[in-house]
Amino acid sequence: MGKLATGRASSKSSKLLDEFNASLMFDKKLYAEDIEGSIAHASMLQAQDIISQRELHQIIGGLAQVKKEIEESSFVFDIADEDIHMAIEKRLTEIIGDAGKKLHTARSRNDQVALDFRLYVQKNSKNLEKLILKLIETLLDIADANSSTLLPGFTHLQHAQPINFGYHMLAYVAMFQRDILRFSDSFKRNNFSPLGCAALAGTPYKIDRDYTAKKLGFDAPTVNCLDTVSDRDFALEILFNISTLMTHISRLCEELVLWSSSEFGFISLSDEYSTSSSIMPQKKNPDVPELLRGKTGRVYGNLISLLTVLKGLPLAYNKDMQEDKEGVFDSVETATISLRILNEAMATMSVHIDVMENGCKVGHLSATDLADYLVRECDMAFRDAYKITGAIVAQAEKSGIDLSEMSLEELKVADSRINENVLEFLNLRNSMNARASYGGTSIKSTKDQIKYFKKWIENYDV
Ligand code: ARG
């Protein structure tokens, strides 16, 4: 069979044009969505008496066979067919004859591709939500086991205040929760059916867009056909949502790389999720978090690329829009494998509690507590307390010890008002637990946060 839709163009396009024009080699990923959409469309055509019951049965049977051929790899993909929509329709017509030629009644490839692509995005958006949920569960397990594991908290990558490792994990849980909600918001905003918009202006046939919308799992049909065939906001949204997700993944991975270095030594990645060097036999490299950090770049690129493709396009469909798909496929696949492997790497890593806790004895982490003590117990103004604390820290540096290890006698030299209560304030664990304000790092507050997230998960319906 020759080309399906030659229309006014001659059927002999150049091979080079076929190669350049085709999207088949990548949009064949949409075959299942295309068939699902066609079944819904044909069912509606029959319900509206536009095709017969018999023709509908032939179409459904033929499409089932096409699907089988694609899944069994016996389907012959020919780029001369241009895209998956034409390839499927052509094969359908080969199989069932004239009834196949009726499938495209009251439909255009413009609403067809908008539908297929939207179905793909909606399905994968849900799938990513599920994978993020799994990662959150793993992080909550780590948090649960480490709500009393002291960890130096950093600002400017300098030791700042003692926190606990569970609390640090919960910061990522909060980011990933926002990611889930972002995917979910986009899903709701875009859950409208493009089918039946036809080329740009709707159709003179008496179609029923509510019927197809419902059958395909959408909330309703889209409102304006001209917008719908031009709209790729749903694709931009998933690209942005994935970019933000990957930003969070990348920040966590940066910490994993740092923490697994000899300088930090806070964690070890399991052998299963580390790699070795081809020349240095002693090495265990954090390739997984590094690669995840690196993959963030291509995902940002896909977002910028589609924004740029769309920015100057007049309404409605333009062929430029065929460039919308590969970046989305790439970002979705990248995010999918990233979440799966990060989950495994996190679940199997070892946490070196001693190293984390010893790390807190460097950098005078309880300096803020000493200043607070001077304010609360010695009746000083904060600025005076800040100054005296600075002098005491300098003294500790001179003696080569950490502030938390100073004796009462040494402290009293700086200010005679200091009494033995001070030692409790300088204790690192007390310092962490003192921060019991809502959302703070105390063990109790950490446990409350774990409870909050667990309850949220329990009630969350993907
Ligand atoms: N392969 C095209 C795409 O991905 C399908 C839509 C083609 N529509 C058209 N009028 N040429 O965008």
pLDDT at 283: 76
Confidence band for 362, pLDDT divided at 50, 70 and 90: very high
Closest-CA residue to 404 (of 427, 371, 372): 427
Confidence band for 279, pLDDT divided at 50, 70 and 90: confident
pLDDT at 2: 61
What is the rounded distance in angstroms from the CA atom of residue 299 to the CA atom of residue 305?
Answer: 10
| pTM for the full predicted model | 0.94
CA 7 – ligand 1 centroid, Å: 15
17, 113, 318, 323: which to mutate for ligand 1, most atoms within 8 A of CB? Answer: 113
109, 110, 112, 309: which to mutate for ligand 1, most atoms within 8 A of CB? Answer: 109
Mean per-residue pLDDT for 288-297? Answer: 98
Q: Is the pLDDT of residue 6 over 90?
A: no
pLDDT at 46: 98
3-state secondary structure at position 268: strand
| Binding-site residues, ligand 1, Cβ < 6 A | 23, 27, 83, 109-110, 113, 317, 319, 321-322
Q: Is the pLDDT of residue 32 over 90?
A: yes
pLDDT at 281: 75
Q: Is the pLDDT of residue 264 over 70?
A: yes
Catalytic residue among 14, 73, 74, 156: 156
Asked whether 124 and 32 are in contact (CB, 8 A), the reply is no
74 is catalytic: no
Percent of the chain with pLDDT over 90: 93
For atom 3 of ligand 1, the residue with the nearest CA is 322
Cα–Cα distances in angstroms (integers) from residue 48 to residues 85, 106, 134, 201, 439, in the given order: 23, 12, 44, 20, 58
Asked whether 227 and 198 are in contact (CB, 8 A), the reply is no
List, for residues 199-208, the tens digit of each pLDDT value: 999 999 999 9
156 is catalytic: yes
CA 192 – ligand 1 centroid, Å: 20
What is the rounded distance in angstroms from the CA atom of residue 237 to the CA atom of residue 328?
Answer: 10
pLDDT at 319: 98
pLDDT at 10: 63
CA 322 – ligand 1 centroid, Å: 6
pLDDT at 5: 67
Asked whether 143 and 170 are in contact (CB, 8 A), the reply is yes
Confidence band for 27, pLDDT divided at 50, 70 and 90: very high
What's the whole-number average pLDDT of the chain? 95
Confidence band for 284, pLDDT divided at 50, 70 and 90: confident
Confidence band for 360, pLDDT divided at 50, 70 and 90: very high
pLDDT at 455: 98
pLDDT at 403: 93
CA 49 – ligand 1 centroid, Å: 28
| Gyration radius of the chain over CA positions | 31
**DSSP H helices in 146-216:** 165-189, 209-215
Helix pair 325-348, 109-145: axis angle to 10 deg: 10
pLDDT at 194: 98
Q: Is the pLDDT of residue 354 over 60?
A: yes
What is the rounded distance in angstroms from the CA atom of residue 220 to the CA atom of residue 377?
Answer: 65
Comparison of pLDDT for 11 and 364, the residue scoring more? 364
Cα–Cα distances in angstroms (integers) from residue 350 to residues 12, 146, 227, in the given order: 64, 12, 52
Q: Is the pLDDT of residue 1 over 60?
A: no
